[in-house]
């Protein structure tokens, strides 16, 4: 998709999992990539991998719940690459617990990382995109943003909020030629998924086998989700905004 050549993109949570796979794919398709992540060890390694392959990349240490960090990520992207065209709000966390089991600070953290971060990055990214004449925002929601899941109350609430925040942003900024969509991945083989097994005190192998019980018979890979993100970032989806793209191996099909 050569329409990503020369585009400037921020990927939050780009140091691992879906974010890392997407950053590498976007870079391979010609985009300049800012990795915005709290992981000061893994983030620069992704930058080095992109640059070793001939791409351009930048790491900005970023706590996506802090306004000053989000502003800095946008500012440094514009300074380094000349503008901002694509924002992939991918950073996220999960806490597997019911409402009575969860501490208030855990609830607040999940909502801050999964929802507030999209608001914060939007505040600073949208004006930069307007100056470029438009742009693309992709928000990572979840299948559990469309249906409920057990022992995941805060996660489901946060991802449901992402789905409707996406629609609201799409309506607000369509006239400025900014498209806003969200991805709803199913279980994907990332560090976060594996950490869920620990939270639930379940054997990892059994947990992953259960996650693979869907029509296509496997869990997703980060590359599966990255390819869907590439579609939403590219001109192939130029008439798509305000939608949720479910990428889950048929898990929600019925």
Which residue among the candidates 43, 155, 183, 234 is catalytic per the annotation?
155
Model pTM score: 0.97
The domains located in the chain, with CATH, are 2-186+221-240 (3.40.50.720)
What are the pLDDT digits (tens) for 136-165? 999 999 999 999 999 999 999 999 999 999
Rounded CA-CA distance 44/224 in Å is 23
Query: Would you say residue 169 has pLDDT above 70?
Result: yes
> 173: pLDDT confidence band, cut at 50, 70 and 90?
very high
Find the helix or strand (DSSP H, E) in which 125 lies. helix 117-132
124 is catalytic: no
Q: Which two tokens stand for residue 42?
A: 């893994």
Beta bridge partners of 60: 36
């Amino acid at each position: 998709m050569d329409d990503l050549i020369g585009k400037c993109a921020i990927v939050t949570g780009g140091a691992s999992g879906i974010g890392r796979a997407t950053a590498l794919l976007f870079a391979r398709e010609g985009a300049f990539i800012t990795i915005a992540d709290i992981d000061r060890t893994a983030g620069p390694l992704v930058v080095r991998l992109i640059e070793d392959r001939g791409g351009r990349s930048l790491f900005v240490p970023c706590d996506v719940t802090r306004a000053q960090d989000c502003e800095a990520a946008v500012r440094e992207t514009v300074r380094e690459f000349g503008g901002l065209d694509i924002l992939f709000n991918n950073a996220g966390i999960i806490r597997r617990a019911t409402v009575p089991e969860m501490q208030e600070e855990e609830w607040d953290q999940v909502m801050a990382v999964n929802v507030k971060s999209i608001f914060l990055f939007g505040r600073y990214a949208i004006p930069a995109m307007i100056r470029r004449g438009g742009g693309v925002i992709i928000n990572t929601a979840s299948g559990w943003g469309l249906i409920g899941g057990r022992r995941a109350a805060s996660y489901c609430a946060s991802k449901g909020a992402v789905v409707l925040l996406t629609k609201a942003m799409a309506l607000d900024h369509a006239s400025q030629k900014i498209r806003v969509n969200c991805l709803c991945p199913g279980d994907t083989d990332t560090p976060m998924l594996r950490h869920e097994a620990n939270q639930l005190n379940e054997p990892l192998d059994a947990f992953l086998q259960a996650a693979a019980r869907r029509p296509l018979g496997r869990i997703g890979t980060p590359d599966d989700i990255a390819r869907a993100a590439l579609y939403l970032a590219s001109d192939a989806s130029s008439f798509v905004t305000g939608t949720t793209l479910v990428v889950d191996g048929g898990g929600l099909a019925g």
